[in-house]
Chains A and B, each alone.
Chain A
Amino acid sequence: MRFTALLPALLVGVAAFTPPSTDFTVRSYLRTVDLMKSYVRDSSSFILENTGAEPQSSFYLAVNASYTDTESPLSAKLAMYEVKLKSDDGSTSLKYTIDDEVNEDQMKYVKIELPKSIAVGQSVTVQLASAVVRELVPLPKKIKQAEVQNLVWQGSRVAYIPYPVVKQRTKIKFSERPANAYSRFKDDPTIDGTVLTYGPYENIPPQTYEPIRVKYEYNQPLIEITKLERELWVSHSGGNLATEERYWLTNSGAELTDHFSRVRWQATTMAQQSTPALKAAQVHLRAGVRDVYFTDEIGNVSTSNLRDDYRDPVLEFRPRYPVFGGWNYSFTLGWNHDLARSVRETASEGIYVLRVPLLEGPVNAMYDEADVLVVLPEGAKVLAVDSSYKDMTEELTSLYSHLDVVGRTVVKLSARDMTDEHRRNELYVTYELSKDAQYRKPIRVATAVFAVFFAIILLGKVDVSISKKA
């Protein structure tokens, strides 16, 4: 692996691209690494000043090369990368492209386009938010059932930037208690409650990378959804939007050294201790949810509860067994909504827009693979599919169901490496459905039934007897 990644860099060698470090200077880089979830959230904000000779319409940042490497699909991957330009009237998202080339530090440069160029001596405030899945690993890899799980995060105490940085600070946040073990330097880091702060450092040369390791207590499950199939069925005749989600889940936390002991587990639950096993998970659903169900491959699971709050209904479900590190569980969740909540008819007649969240899965989960299928009514024509999440492949197929003759259009969107925070991304499907198409099915079914009855009447009249009975 390492060699394949190194090889192109060596071959290109001197020719490898490096952004001119003299174009910009970064002032006051504030970085926060959030280790409170099962994935790593990294958010930074900094002031970028054009200290070059000419106005600039783009600048560069860098990400770990392996984060975007497609050859090892199940290693740590970038789930989110968002760059925003902050101004007085809100913030605007910036377009970016990740370079294919890997430099000698195993990084890839990200080119970020600015909406308008920065004049020499001017500065802008930039916000960067990213999330990386599957980066946290338990240490030790195997623990006893009642033991506390520790995770390890590895990174750099300064952000890797192709420009000189005047002042920089890295904060690392934990959920429960301060880190057990961390890389120490002179007077560095400082601890304040559950926050570990590296820095501040001054005048850091470009492309600095100083590795650190942090080991901290995280006694919660690492929910990794290896596959999600989310289906949304739009029915105009029933006025219903049915959602069904099939999950294949694994807990990527620390495995058990011994086997599972029920006695010990009962003691743990009775004492209400926290545990790295997945006991229950929560899903925030949209308001107006009906008919919620929780099943798995062998039938209904009775341990689910819907807190039917008017604004924020929460489905809490318990798997059949506590899912310890390395264990798997698969299940299905489903519910209904009134169609009027999600579908609007546009100004032009017969053209509708469906607006739904891209994901609605359990809290604090990461996704390896997710397929979102929108099943439109028979005869609907897709005009546009749009989402604030761009990293998806789109496919149009058709499906026959419920007495269809021409089949219904299915929009299939496939994505990889996501987190539960992608529920904030919305999906818009614009489609055309004429009134004729809506009435076609009842007429067709009625005709078919009539034809069958008529045929039976006719057949009943046929005399098939060989000889006339007296």
Chain B
Amino acid sequence: MHFTTKLPSSAAQALPLIRTLTLITIAGAAIASRLFSVVRFESIIHEFDPWFNFRATKYLVSHDFYSFLDWFDDRTWYPLGRVTGGTLYPGLMVTSALIFHGLKALTLPVDIRNICVMLAPVFSGLTAYATYLFTCEMKDQSAGLLAAAFIGIAPGYISRSVAGSYDNEAIAIFLLMFTFYLWIKALKLGSAFFGALTALFYFYMVAAWGGYVFITNIIPLHALVLVVMGRYSSRLYVAYSSWYALGTLASMQIPFVGFLPIRSSEHMGALGVFGLLQLVAFASYVRARVPSKHFKVLVTVSATSLLALGLAGVVGLTLSGVIAPWTGRFYSLWDTGYAKIHIPIIASVSEHQPTAWPSFFFDTFMLIWLFPAGVYIIFQELRDEHLFVIIYGILASYFAGVMVRLMLTLTPIVCVCGAVALSNILDIYTNLEKPLETDDEDKTKKEEDQSVLRLGSMSKKPLIGVFSNWSRAFVLGSFTIYLFLFVQHCTWVTSNAYSSPSVVLASQLPDGSQHIIDDFREAYYWLRKNTPEDAKIMSWWDYGYQIGGMADRTTLVDNNTWNNTHIATVGKAMSSREEVSYPILRKHDVDYILVIFGGLLGYSGDDINKFLWMVRIAEGIWPDEVRERDFFTARGEYRVDQEATSTMKNSLMYKMSYYRFTDVFGRQPALDRVRNQRIPSAITDPSVKPISLNTVDEAFTSENWIVRIYKVKDLDDFGRDHAIANAFEEGKRKTAGGRSRSAPVGGLSKGKARVLRE
């Protein structure tokens, strides 16, 4: 503000251009810093959920919009299927499809995959712009530019928006910031137009991400705080009413949301505040016409009765089931231990874990300590819109502490507050006004204190400033270093922590060159090309979306964890003995089982490490048949070596993971590189019985053994039990081959003995 008035007019005219260029550069930097994975690997969809979004987008692109909304997907959750069109947020797919069709109309041949990969980086550029607008409303444009630069490269946001991270959050953070900007604008101007725009972008947000509930609650909270603080105004009334009425109606158009805005507890706050605002508006209307003594009585009586009525109504409707009670996911936001006890499936997701303290620093670097400073500065002025930042800051800090994933919503406000604080510092320390000059100009003011000076023509307030060049240089210099470090840290974090597609792994060869470990795609592509098109694949739910997206085969469970029982069924099949599992597999028409095994390579995210979750989830449904305790040794250790419990060793998962694993090592000890334990090997120790599988056959194992696929056997031709049939075959093979070390008869009896023992 100081500069614009002071600069010569030609420079002032150039300012918008410089500002635009700066914003474009920031957007460019935001996009470029998200391209590590594309440069290092390729244009590929990352991780798990994005594969579903990608698959849904491909469906939308090849079908029309209505058949997309009506899409019943019979290739997931076999045999249940999923009403995909009605259970997803279509905003992301529709955005990509619109871009795709737009480019197609221009006859530009851009692959839908590339659009999906690049969507998040491009939207991060827009987020930078939205944050700029938002911060401009809070302080000024210089703070806005800083905030834009911060959000552009802050790791907390990059973590969810690198190229290939094709998830709802990719566009949702832009929508979040832009909706907030429009809300502030509507509130400041009291404009129904901006209120309607807020509703429009709120609608887009509802269409894009389940996190829209955050907006649904924070705007009413802001309005409520304003009312409570006695800051009610007609501007607030206009802005809120136009947003709530239009936004709620619009949000109900999304099939997945439907009637939730009037039926679920999460949305009741917005409705309540809407009602409250009508009352307040009515009250202020009445106050103008009724004597104040009567008015007080009127307010007390009506407020109490209305409050009681409203509460009773909400409680009554909740109890009668018209309004849905809070969901489990919601409770887990208040009690971090809740999920672990009641919904293990939610607790099993790593991004739902509580945040560790270092990750705040990791994701926002210096902004985390500028953040409180920014909030403090905002408190100093405390305009209506500043309250919004404070509320947002408090809520987001809490939620970010509860769940790692919600760091994402905290990051924008940290950037805004950090920018406000830093810009404030810069404003003061880069103000080159010299007290001496002022003295020369206006000598009559010389009796004023040295540190408090007046700039007669510039402002009426006394100018408080720092005039020592040393302190200026020191502070500015140190902050320049901080900014450098910030950029370096962000780049380092993005490059090292957030740019791995996780579908493809990279390793270094001894000569320093990069070697790509592509086991996942190897196995998925094998499934895609060499199994019947209607084959049913059973795997742990983590890999459901990837199998659907890359192998294009029917899965039993996937990352849309809507049916706990079905997941528990898979967990039970994996954690039980073959004889117990086989009927489950048959009943679910399973053709192939896919397990992830990292023991050979040292890939720690494998199924044996996730095994306890399978056990726990299965135990939740069948406490009598699956017991977590049975998988621990007597000393309470989770082991896979010689000391592993017999339940562990006989579980289907253990057998499928380590089947023939020891053969790779020959006479060397078979070391599981993830758990650093020796797998008992029949080659080195004759007393060990090699793992035998009776009901499944190894069908495919990827190059580094990360993915192992087993074919479920058909029922035996002679109606025998598989174990007996297998023992018979083995015995026959040994006798027929004659190469067996043991005598032919011994071979047979050995087979029988095995049957008896099992």
Contact = CB atoms under 8 A, between A and B. Distances in A.
A296 interface: yes
Which of B524, B525, B550, B664 has the largest number of chain A CB atoms within 10 A? B525
B700 A403 contact: no
Contact of B525 (A262, A297, A303, A401): A297
SS class of chain A's interface: helix, strand, loop or mixed?
loop
Nearest to A301: B518
B700 A259 contact: yes
B108 A403 contact: yes
Nearest to B521: A298
A346 interface: no
Interface in B327-341: none
A89 interface: no
Contacts, number: 72
Interface in B642-668: 660, 663-664
B528 A297 contact: yes
A4 interface: no
A327 interface: yes
Contact of B699 (A260, A296, A404): A260
A201 interface: no
Q: What 8 pairs between A and B have smallest CB-CB spacing?
A: A262-B701, A302-B516, A300-B42, A400-B107, A320-B522, A328-B529, A259-B699, A263-B663
20 contacts: A258-B697, A259-B700, A260-B698, A260-B699, A262-B702, A263-B663, A263-B664, A297-B525, A298-B521, A298-B528, A299-B44, A300-B41, A300-B44, A320-B518, A320-B521, A321-B702, A321-B703, A327-B529, A329-B529, A404-B107
Contacts of B703: 262, 321
B14 interface: no
B660 A263 contact: yes
Given A296-B525, A400-B107, 15 more contacts: A258-B697, A262-B701, A263-B660, A263-B663, A297-B528, A299-B521, A301-B518, A302-B518, A320-B526, A321-B523, A321-B525, A321-B702, A327-B529, A328-B529, A328-B530
Contacts of A258: 697
Contacts of B109: 401-402
Contact of B700 (A260, A266, A299): A260
A414 interface: no
B711 interface: yes
A277 to B, nearest CB: 12
Contacts of B530: 327-328
Interface residues of B, number: 32
Nearest to A299: B44
Interface residues of A, number: 26
A226 to B, nearest CB: 12
Contacts of A327: 529-530
Interface in A242-265: 258-263
A263 B661 CA distance: 8
Nearest to B506: A302
B31 to A, nearest CB: 21
Contact of B107 (A259, A260, A297, A403): A403
A330 interface: yes
Most buried by B among A266, A301, A302: A302
A321 B522 contact: yes
Interface string B579-590: 000000000000
Interface of A: 258-263, 266, 296-303, 320-321, 327-330, 400-404
B134 interface: no
B174 interface: no
Nearest to B600: A262
Interface in B699-719: 699-703, 705, 711
Contacts of B702: 262, 321
B756 interface: no
Contacts of A266: 664
A261 B107 CA distance: 47
Contact of A298 (B108, B550, B664): B550
Contacts of B664: 263, 266
A143 B691 CA distance: 25
B101 to A, nearest CB: 14
B497 interface: no
Contacts of B663: 263
B736 interface: no
Contacts of B524: 298
A462 B322 CA distance: 50
Interface in B702-758: 702-703, 705, 711
A301 B700 CA distance: 19
A299 B516 CA distance: 13
Contacts of B41: 300
Contacts of B107: 400-404
B301 interface: no
B525 A261 contact: no
Nearest to B503: A299
B464 interface: no
Interface in B533-576: 550
Interface string B484-519: 000000000000000000000000000000001010
B229 interface: no
B106 A298 contact: no
Contacts of B43: 299
B342 to A, nearest CB: 38
Contacts of B701: 260-262
Contact of B698 (A261, A321, A403): A261
A321 B518 contact: no
B705 A320 contact: no
Nearest to B515: A302
Contacts of B526: 320-321
Interface string B141-173: 000000000000000000000000000000000
A329 B528 CA distance: 9
B595 to A, nearest CB: 13
B104 to A, nearest CB: 9
Contacts of B521: 298-299, 320
Nearest to B664: A263
Interface in B667-716: 697-703, 705, 711
Contacts of B522: 320-321
Which of A261, A299, A302, A303 neighbours the largest number of chain B CB atoms within 10 Å of its CB? A299
A320 B523 CA distance: 8
A403 B518 contact: no
A303 B516 CA distance: 9
Contacts of B42: 299-300
Contacts of A300: 41-42, 44
Given A297-B525, A302-B516, A321 B700 contact: yes
Listed residue (B108, B523, B529, B703) with the most chain A CB atoms within 10 angstroms of its CB = B529
Contacts of A328: 529-530
Contacts of A259: 697-700, 711
B699 to A, nearest CB: 4
Contacts of A403: 106-108
B556 to A, nearest CB: 21
A263 B697 CA distance: 14
Contacts of A301: 518
A321 B518 CA distance: 10
Interface in B624-639: none
A298 B698 contact: no
A403 B110 CA distance: 12
Nearest to B44: A299
Interface in B15-74: 41-44
B105 to A, nearest CB: 10
Contacts of A298: 521, 524-525, 528, 550
A400 to B, nearest CB: 4
B665 to A, nearest CB: 10
